[in-house]
Structure 1
């Protein structure tokens, strides 16, 4: 069984390679803009690698050749930076996703598994979980969310016009693992963040707002859900999240800190001003997303995929913090510790 993973070198891609290596008679093909070096070791060895920038002209023709004969394509590639150049981000995220979809159709691949996100949903409740039927129209003000929603809208049309294609959409919460510590710091916090303080397992101050309630899941659990979807016959969308819901109070308690009440306008203004000053790499849209993304029910994944997370959200967060403090990384370019590497294509969610 030949499985092609687009964006195989990032956070989820690395975990999925680990998971698929456990399957017999599976040939893994990895696609990424920047490839791991030869001899990078597990889980990157044993993968047949192809370099492709999915946002460039000509990507469809290149991908058709790579996808030929595949039993399934997994689309994980997503660009987070440079956040100051929305044209580049849309070219990769929306245009590049369209290239992957068109190549899947032209190569007659029978199954496509797409990495969506909780970020695809419209603003929703923070006191009850929503199902996959909640509108996937994105959060206004968040380019990440709007790009995810744009791709989902494209997939809606593909489902109607190509009913034979088995299409799966994974919608996880925040995805954590130790080895992503350096990558997540680089993409979301920047070089000025004092992440070394996390080595003591302490987070002294935690901003608190009643709408800062989020869900997380370990990368290995997300990878297991992908594997179940790839190897089975599932169709449609699946929420993926672990308990408990991460609230400021819960995080402060587990990491020996204090909550500091902060109004939503202050959070937005602080993010916007520090982003414009290039003190940190994410704009106020990420605050908008954190405040408005709904809580999700993973009941459908449990029922139809037999999926249940093995790692709770607090343990996953603790593992990530440890990885951030110790600059944990892998030899893959997106997850490397090399300080000169530019931000690139990955799927952090």
Structure 2
């Protein structure tokens, strides 16, 4: 039975939501949320900030790389650790950005996770560890399979950025699982998050007045709604589900379909020009597009979630299209036409 849960990364939107949801579970005695700063109130559907943050969960100001984390785990007799503080960039608001450059991001993601796992390894009470990862570990490549399963090896090994960090983190998690076979270790690889409260490089891209795309490419994209992400994390935090699981909404959307749903004009650019625009946008802090995000916008990525459904006896409530539509509605965009209707209208325009 789960007694005391420690959640890292509660400064971010998803971390705060997970901590609050777990704190509302009557079967859990205590939830401790740790981060370097407390969370901000969540974004409401009207764009404002309102609502509870951590509920009855306790906040403790602790850095992953500091010595105090092990003390918190020991003193609170923590039995479940939910690690959610992986960041995809210095401005990643989902996990509370590092506020520094690439070196600070890597130190936070990789070294911070190593310190956390070391603390868990020394603990006599920890019995379950859940780690948030990303489908970016599979990469995006013209040579990639149509659909990735958890056992698919990436065609091209990530050499930099968030995908590289996540790959290294998963390596350390597997090492921890071998050293502590008595601890149930779960790794959840999430597709790109969508929803009213999600503020990420991809949601900021779709919020721009004009959408640049890569000329000649129409990548398949897959999303997971924030509500489903929170549900998956809470389910794996409450009961034992060892292994690695893809988490994504059913179906895919082509980038062109996403663009039509936003109602914004599209500007196709040659690949070098698209990368230049992406670099300029990063410099202007409009969209923090990492190299792996730029690759995703060329080749896309889709994953299979059959293992998750079989293991948890549950599947995400929102499909990819529904998650994207809910995001658009929260930002005042169209997002209300069903996919078939959008494609039918596009076909009429093409025929004319």
TM-score, length of structure 2 as denominator length: 0.77
**Contact between 2:186 and 2:243, CA under 8 Å: does it hold in 1?**
yes
In the alignment, does 2:58 pair up with 1:58?
no
Residue of structure 1 in register with 2:33 after alignment: 30
CA distance in 1, matches of 2:10, 2:154: 25
In the alignment, does 2:294 pair up with 1:287?
yes
SS where residue 197 of structure 2 aligns? Answer: helix
Q: Quick one: which of 34, 46, 49 aligns to 2:59? A: 49
Q: How does 1:96-107 map to 2 (within 5 A)?
A: 96-107=112-123
**Contact between 1:112 and 1:165, CA under 8 Å: does it hold in 2?**
yes
Q: Quick one: which of 3, 6, 13 aligns to 2:5? A: 3
Cα 1:256/1:324, change in 2 over 3 Å:
closer
SS where residue 179 of structure 1 aligns? Answer: coil
**Contact between 2:220 and 2:299, CA under 8 Å: does it hold in 1?**
no
Q: Quick one: which of 63, 67, 70 aligns to 2:78? A: 70
Residue of structure 2 in register with 1:239 after alignment: 246
Residue of structure 2 in register with 1:91 after alignment: 107
**Contact between 1:240 and 1:301, CA under 8 Å: does it hold in 2?**
yes
Cα 1:246/1:188, change in 2 over 3 Å:
closer
Residue of structure 2 in register with 1:296 after alignment: 303
Once the two structures are TM-superposed, the CA of residue 243 in structure 1 deviates from its matched residue by: 2.4
Q: How does 1:1-349 map to 2 (within 5 A)?
A: 1-26=3-28, 27-36=30-39, 42-55=52-65, 57-65=66-74, 68-79=76-87, 80-81=89-90, 85-108=101-124, 109-123=126-140, 128-135=146-153, 140=158, 142-180=160-198, 183-184=199-200, 189=204, 195=207, 205=211, 207=213, 210=217, 212-257=219-264, 259-276=266-283, 280-291=287-298, 294-324=301-331
SS where residue 73 of structure 1 aligns? Answer: strand
Most deviating of 84-93 and 134-143: 134-143
CA distance in 1, matches of 2:267, 2:161: 28
Larger radius of gyration: 2
CA distance in 2, matches of 1:273, 1:112: 39
Most deviating of 114-123 and 92-101: 114-123
CA distance in 1, matches of 2:249, 2:277: 29
Cα 1:242/1:232, change in 2 over 3 Å:
same
- Consecutive unaligned residues of structure 2, counting only runs of 5 or more, are 42-49, 92-98, 334-352
The alignment covers a number of residue pairs equal to 311
**Which is bigger in relative contact order (C-alpha 8 A, separation at least 6)?**
1
Once the two structures are TM-superposed, the CA of residue 205 in structure 1 deviates from its matched residue by: 4.5
